[in-house]
Amino acid sequence: MSPEHATTANTSSVMSSYGRLPVAIERGEGVWLWDVDGKKYLDAHGGIAVCALGHSNRPIAEAIADQATTLLHCSNYYTIPVQEQLGTELCEIAGMDKVFFCNSGAEANEACIKVARLHGRKAGIENPSIIVMDNAFHGRTLATLTATGNRKIQAGFEPLVPGFVRAPFSDLEALEKIAATNKNVAAVMFEPIQGEGGVNPAQQGYMSAVRELCDQNNWLMMVDEVQTGMGRTGKWFAHQHENVVPDVMAVAKALGNGVPIGACLAHGAAADLIQPGSHGTTFGGNPLACRAALSVIEQLKSGNLVARAGELGNRISERLKSKLENSPGVVSIRGRGLMIGIELDTPCGELMKMAMQEGVLITVTADSVARILPPYILSDAEADDLADRLGSMVIRFLEKNTAVAEPA
Ligand SMILES: *Cc1c(COP(=O)(O)O)cnc(C)c1O
């Protein structure tokens, strides 16, 4: 979120890490949120791609209530049966072998980065490097902000962490050039569709080409599916659109539908690099979070909601495209499933406020991309309503903007 949305008075005791919109959210149900004044909002933001099953989801509420009176926490010194069960489920849907549980997307990526370093050092590289992409977003810890391809996020936190090499996104040739000259590379890390970077999908064929390049060079292929994962794009994980299996994958956001949980999954030899003592977390994989995530997976399966997310995404995209086809200010409408970006030819932070005033919650990312990440439980009518309202808002925003930009 950009700082221009700061609220008026800063009387809060909470650090100003976010320029918050001037609204206080009190409760939610399904795809709807209500503020403290009772105003209702269609939540097309889903808590940043988190609330895939919507708000106040009954089965999750019941699962965590039950778990709260059974066992909240015991630490990873012991076997945790619900954690084992979730690990098995998650590995099965992902086609991966093992998982490390943590509490957020950034922590999941930290684990991926540590796995890459272990892999590199095992291969005899003294200073292993990870290739990361322009416009990537991987989190706000020191290593993940270093991996992030956005100077605004890094500025002020130097010295950054060594061991990263930058490449343009979705450019295979650039990776081949690095392969030919840099013998310190241990892994490539990227988002199948860049989220915070502006909803930028990798070109068709990129992921399978990267897979091949990784095999040729003994690099780990690491995908950050924190935003794209858990069904959002119409497959359980976005890399599955190309039928590739990564070596390492980060998942978080929708995994717990709002209960904090992240995971680093690994396949093949990469799955055995973490050994006792090499990584750890107090809260990661605790029984409460695991119960919530188990309920998420169960509901996504039983409701066939992964395919539904794909269908709903097509429906909304098509409708937006036809509504906006005569708007020259619209650069492109892109994404996959329920991860949709509308790029405008002008910065559109204002659009977020305008939508909020009109009772729709969206975000703007990369300055000029309006983005929606709605829950997968939208009805057809709600999806159409969202597309229509968003489409008209974009048209009105562009009209207003042109009127201001052109001298009288
Ligand atoms: C949100 C996000 C992260 C960071 O997740 P946190 O839970 O905020 O730490 C990392 N990678 C991607 C692709 C994300 O969208």
Give the pLDDT of residue 10.
66
Average pLDDT value for residue range 37-45: 97
Q: What is the pLDDT of residues 264-308, one digit of tens each?
A: 999 999 999 999 999 999 999 999 999 999 999 999 999 999 999
Question: Which residue segments constitute the domains of the chain, with CATH numbers given?
Answer: 3-56+304-405 (3.90.1150.10), 58-302 (3.40.640.10)
Give the pLDDT of residue 405.
61
**Residue 3 predicted with pLDDT over 50:** no
**Ligand 1, from 222, 227, 251, 339: best to mutate by most atoms within 8 Å of Cβ?**
227
Average pLDDT value for residue range 194-221: 98
Q: What is the pLDDT of residues 315-333, one digit of tens each?
A: 999 999 999 999 999 999 9
The reply to whether ligand 1 has any atom less than 6 angstroms from the CB of 227 is yes
**Residue 27 predicted with pLDDT over 70:** yes
Q: Residue 291: which of 54, 98, 57 has the closest Cα?
A: 57
3-state secondary structure of 369: strand
The Cα 143–Cα 187 span in angstroms is 15
Q: List active site positions.
A: 137, 224, 253
138 C-alpha to ligand 1 centroid (Å)? 6
Average pLDDT value for residue range 193-218: 98
Average pLDDT value for residue range 209-233: 98
The Cα 130–Cα 271 span in angstroms is 18
The Cα 7–Cα 134 span in angstroms is 31
Residue closest by Cα to atom 15 of ligand 1: 227
3-state secondary structure of 269: helix
Q: Residue 333: which of 325, 324, 342 has the closest Cα?
A: 342
CB atoms within 10 A of CB 115: 25
251 C-alpha to ligand 1 centroid (Å)? 9
For the CA of 48, the closest atom of ligand 1 is 1
The reply to whether ligand 1 has any atom less than 6 angstroms from the CB of 294 is no
Tokens at 58, concatenated = 């009954």
Q: What is the pLDDT of residues 378-405, one digit of tens each?
A: 999 999 999 999 999 999 999 998 876 6
**Residue 2 predicted with pLDDT over 50:** no
**Ligand 1, from 110, 190, 226: best to mutate by most atoms within 8 Å of Cβ?**
226
Span of 15-29, 33-47, 206-220, 264-278 with lowest mean pLDDT: 15-29
Residue closest by Cα to atom 11 of ligand 1: 138
3-state secondary structure of 196: coil
The Cα 340–Cα 369 span in angstroms is 9
SS (H, E, C) 131-151: EEECCCCCCCCHHHHHHCCCH
- Of the chain, the percentage scoring pLDDT greater than 90 comes to 93
The reply to whether ligand 1 has any atom less than 6 angstroms from the CB of 194 is no
Report whether the peptide linkage leading into residue 168 is cis, meaning its omega lies within 30 degrees of zero: no
User: Strand 193-194 and strand 200-201: pairing?
Assistant: antiparallel
Q: Residue 175: which of 127, 123, 217 has the closest Cα?
A: 217
The reply to whether ligand 1 has any atom less than 6 angstroms from the CB of 146 is no
User: Strand 248-251 and strand 220-224: pairing?
Assistant: parallel
226 C-alpha to ligand 1 centroid (Å)? 6
382 C-alpha to ligand 1 centroid (Å)? 27
The reply to whether ligand 1 has any atom less than 6 angstroms from the CB of 137 is yes
Task: Say if residue 283 is exposed, middle or buried (CB neighbours under 10 Å; 0-12, 13-18, 19+).
Answer: middle
**Phi (first) and psi of residue 113, to 5 degrees:** -65, -40
The answer to whether residues 110 and 143 touch, using CB atoms and an 8 Å cutoff, is yes
Looking at residue 403, its amino acid is: A
Give the pLDDT of residue 368.
97
- pTM comes to 0.95
338 C-alpha to ligand 1 centroid (Å)? 17
Give the pLDDT of residue 4.
47
Mean residue pLDDT of the chain comes to 95
The reply to whether ligand 1 has any atom less than 6 angstroms from the CB of 103 is no
The Cα 343–Cα 288 span in angstroms is 39
Q: What is the pLDDT of residues 112-165, one digit of tens each?
A: 999 999 999 999 999 999 999 999 999 999 999 999 999 999 999 999 999 999
The reply to whether ligand 1 has any atom less than 6 angstroms from the CB of 191 is yes
CB atoms within 10 A of CB 404: 8
**Residue 6 predicted with pLDDT over 80:** no
8-state DSSP, 4: G
**Residue 364 predicted with pLDDT over 80:** yes
322 C-alpha to ligand 1 centroid (Å)? 32
